[in-house]
């Protein structure tokens, strides 16, 4: 399950920022997850519950901001939402959409004490 390695790196980033802020406890970690990042949100939450134990993020809440997929059609120039890779343009049905947004996976902010 690759969500576990993602959660590990989220906690690493958050722990590093907490250390820099001389914090003892992380209360909240806010992350951005794109619809096309290939990440299962329920699996991410499940792994987070398991991985945060015995760490500085033991009490942390994981707040997930989902970013919708957005694609640009090179044939007709329209932008459309997309839920999966290689989606065909819903406007002209002539071309495959180029991804403009939705691949992101990053830590936006943490709240510490």
Given the rule CB under 5 A, which residues bind Zn ion? 73, 75-76, 89, 91-92
Nearer to Zn ion among residue 40 and residue 79 (C-beta): 79
In angstroms, the CA 106 to CA 108 distance is 6
**Which residue bears the tokens 């590990």?**
8
3-state SS class at 46? helix
Type and span of the H or E element at 12 = helix 2-20
Select 17 or 72, whichever has its Cβ closest to Zn ion.
Answer: 72
**CB 82 → Zn ion: shortest distance, Å?**
12
Beta bridge partners of 88: 96
- Cβ of residue 92: shortest distance to Zn ion, in angstroms? 3
Residue 85: CB minimum distance to Zn ion, A: 16
């Amino acid at each position: 399950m690759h969500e576990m390695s993602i959660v590990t790196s989220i906690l690493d980033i958050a722990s590093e920022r907490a250390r820099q802020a001389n914090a003892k406890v992380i209360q909240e970690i806010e992350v951005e997850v794109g619809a096309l990042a290939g990440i299962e949100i329920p699996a991410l939450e499940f792994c987070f519950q398991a991985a945060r134990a015995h760490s500085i993020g033991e009490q942390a809440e994981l707040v997930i901001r989902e970013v919708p997929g957005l694609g640009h059609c090179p044939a007709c120039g329209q932008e459309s939402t997309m839920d999966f890779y290689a989606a065909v343009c819903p406007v002209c049905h002539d071309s495959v959409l180029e991804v403009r947004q939705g691949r992101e996976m990053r830590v936006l902010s943490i709240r510490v004490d």
